[in-house]
Structure 1
Amino acid sequence: MTQISGGTALITGGASGIGLLMGRMLLERGAAQLIVWDASTANIEAARAPLDPLGAVVFDQVDVSDTGAVLAAVSQLEAGGTPVDLLINNAGIVVGKPFLGHEHADIDRALAINTGALMHLTRALLPGMVARGQGHVVNIASAAALVSNPNMSVYAASKWAVTGWSDSLRQEMERAGTGVRVTTVLPYYIDTGMFEGVRSRLIPLLQPQDVAHRILRAVERDAVFLHMPAIVRLLPLLRGLLPTRALDFVLNRIFGVASSMDDFRGRTADRNPNATAPKDP
C-alpha cells in the first residue's frame, strides 16, 4: 500500500482543476512536500492561497511539452536532494475538432503534452524510485482510450498511447521487483473548463472533487486501473463481443458519444497556446 503521509509528491498541471484538488488532498493527508508544476504563471499565483497554508509547497512554471525544460527541472530537484515518491502525470490538453480541422502544430502539441511529456518525466524520475525501492507513478489517461470518439481523434490517440505505455511500464516494474507502483486512470468527461461545452446524454459528467478523491484512494490501494464511472470497465468487453456497427449503434445512438463533442469549447489556452490559461473551476 502506498503511504502518502511523509512523502513528496509532484503533480503536473497541478495549479488548477483536479491537479489543484489532488494537491490540497495530498497535503491534508500528510504529504511532507508538494511540488506543483504548471505552464500557467497565472494559475500558479492563484494556487498559492489555497495550498501554501496547508504545508510545504514548491511551485515551478514548467511547460511539459518542452523536454529540455522538464529534464532541467528534474535536475534541479535532484541537485536539491528532493526525492519524488509520488508522480502524478496530470497535465493535458484537448483539441476537440475533426481531424481535418487540426493544424500540424495542434497534433504535435497535443501528443507532446498528453503522451511524450509523461514518458520523458517518468523516465527522468524512475531511476531514483528504483534505486530507493519504492515510488508510485499515476498516469491520467481517459475513457477516450477505450472507444473511438468523433472530434477527439488526436486526443484519443494520445490517451490510447498513454494507456498502453502505462500498463507496459507497470508490468516491467513488477517483473523486475522494483517496488515501484503504476496506476492508470481512465475517467469519463470531467466537469472542468477542460471539457467546457461537452454534452453527455446518459452518463453524468464526473465531479472534480470526487475524481480527485478517488484517484488518491486508488494510489493508497495500489490500484492498477481506475475506471470512472464503473461502466467504463465494460467498454473493452463490448468491443470484443459486439460487431463494430453494433457497437457504434450502442455508443452513438443510445449513449450519444458521437455527438458529445458537437458543442465543445474547452479552455482558451488549449485552443490558443499563446493565450492566458484560465483556472479550471
Structure 2
Amino acid sequence: MSTFNQQNILITGGASGIGKIMGRIALEKGARNLVIWDIDQEAMNRTAKEFAHLGQVTTQKVDVSQLDEIKIACLELEKENLQINILINNAGIIVGGNFWQNSHEKIQKTMAINTAALMHLTREILPGMMDRKQGHIVNISSAASLVANPKMSVYAASKWAVTAWSESLRLELEAVGSPVNVTTVTPSYISTGMFEGVKTHWIQPILEPEKTAQRIIRAVEKDKIIIRMPWSVYMTPFLKGLLPIRWFDLVVGKWLKVYKSMDEFRGKKIL
C-alpha cells in the first residue's frame, strides 16, 4: 500500500510544473484529497477539472509570500476538518542577473516565497502532524543550495537557507522522537519554463519534469532524508570539501561551465 493512500496532500505551486505532476501521481496512488495552493486561479480550475476522475481536489488561491493568506487558508482547511498528512513545499520563483541588478522588491519577494513561506506554512501544519504522530514534510530546495552560481545569487541565497532549515528541522524532530518525516530535495535545473534559457554541461543535464516528480514521490514513500538530482549533484559537497576554492572554481565553474549556465537565462518575468 502506498504512503499516499487515503492521505490528504497539500502542494504549494501545485497548478503547474512538477507540483501539478506530483499532485496527479499522489491521486493515482490513492490520495484521499489533493489540496492545491497557487496564485493562478484559472490554472487551478483547469487542473482540478483534469484530475476530477482521479479523486477529490481542493483549490485555494494563496500568495505564499503573504503570511496572512497562509494563516487564513490553513484556518479554512481546519474548518473543513481537512488535516494535512503530507505537505510538499514546492512553490518558488527565480530572478536572474547580477545581484546589484535586482531591485529590493525582487529580493524581498524571492526570499518571502522561496524561504519564509516554507517556514510559515510548516509552522501552521506541523503541530497537527506531531499531535497525530504521523506526517511527512517535503521541502523542494535546489542544487543551487550546494554551490554558488553567478547571476542567481538571490535565488541561491534563498535555497541555501531552505536546505539548512529543512535539515535542522529534521534533526529537531528526531531529537524529540517525533515520527514526522522530513525530505529535502535539491534538484538541478528542470525543464518547466522556470529556467528557460539556461545552458548545462552533459554531466549536469536538465531534468525532465515527469521523472523528477516521480523520484520525489518515491522518496516520500521510502522516507528518504535527502534526494539530489541528477547524480552529479551528490558530488558537489565532496568536491567543495576536497578542492581548494580556486580549483573548485576551475573544475566546476570553468571546465564544467556551471558558472556560465545562467548567461542566457530568460525564465519568467518577476515584478
**Could you say which TM-score interval applies, normalised by the shorter chain?**
over 0.9
Partner of 1:100: 100
Does the Cα contact within 8 Å between 1:2 and 1:219 map onto a contact in 2? no
Partner of 1:242: 243
Partner of 1:184: 184
- Cα distance in 1, alignment partners of residues 2 and 175 from structure 2: 18
Does the Cα contact within 8 Å between 1:10 and 1:84 map onto a contact in 2? yes
Partner of 1:275: none
Residue 91 of structure 1: how far off its partner (Å): 0.1
Question: What SS does structure 1 have at the residue aligned with 2:81?
Answer: coil
Partner of 1:173: 173
- Once the two structures are superposed, residues 19-72 of structure 1 have per-residue CA deviations (whole angstroms, 9 ceiling, x without a partner) of 000000000000011000001123212312321221000011100000000011
Partner of 2:159: 159
Partner of 1:14: 14
Partner of 2:78: 78
Residue 178 of structure 1: how far off its partner (Å): 1.4
Structure 2 unaligned runs (5+)?
A: none
Closer/same/farther in 2, CA of residues 101 and 10 from structure 1, 3 Å limit: same
- Once the two structures are superposed, residues 95-141 of structure 1 have per-residue CA deviations (whole angstroms, 9 ceiling, x without a partner) of 01110100000000000000000000000001100000010000000
**Amino acid of the residue matched to residue 79 of structure 2?**
A
Partner of 2:53: 53
Report the more deviating stretch, 176-185 or 194-203. 194-203
Residue 2 of structure 1: how far off its partner (Å): 7.6
- Cα distance in 2, alignment partners of residues 173 and 78 from structure 1: 23
* Identity fraction in percent: 51
Closer/same/farther in 2, CA of residues 67 and 262 from structure 1, 3 Å limit: same
TM-score, length-scaled by structure 2: 0.97
Partner of 2:205: 204
Does the Cα contact within 8 Å between 2:99 and 2:153 map onto a contact in 1? yes
Structure 1 unaligned runs (5+)?
A: 273-281
- Cα distance in 1, alignment partners of residues 114 and 55 from structure 2: 29
RMSD: 1.1
**Amino acid of the residue matched to residue 134 of structure 2?**
Q
- Cα distance in 2, alignment partners of residues 79 and 2 from structure 1: 27
**Amino acid of the residue matched to residue 210 of structure 1?**
K
- Once the two structures are superposed, residues 201-242 of structure 1 have per-residue CA deviations (whole angstroms, 9 ceiling, x without a partner) of 222100000000000000000000000012111111111110
Residue 244 of structure 1: how far off its partner (Å): 0.4
Report the more deviating stretch, 19-28 or 229-238. 229-238
Partner of 2:149: 149
- Cα distance in 2, alignment partners of residues 42 and 105 from structure 1: 26
**Amino acid of the residue matched to residue 150 of structure 2?**
P
Aligned pairs, number: 270
**Amino acid of the residue matched to residue 206 of structure 2?**
L
- Cα distance in 2, alignment partners of residues 198 and 47 from structure 1: 28
TM-score, length-scaled by structure 1: 0.94
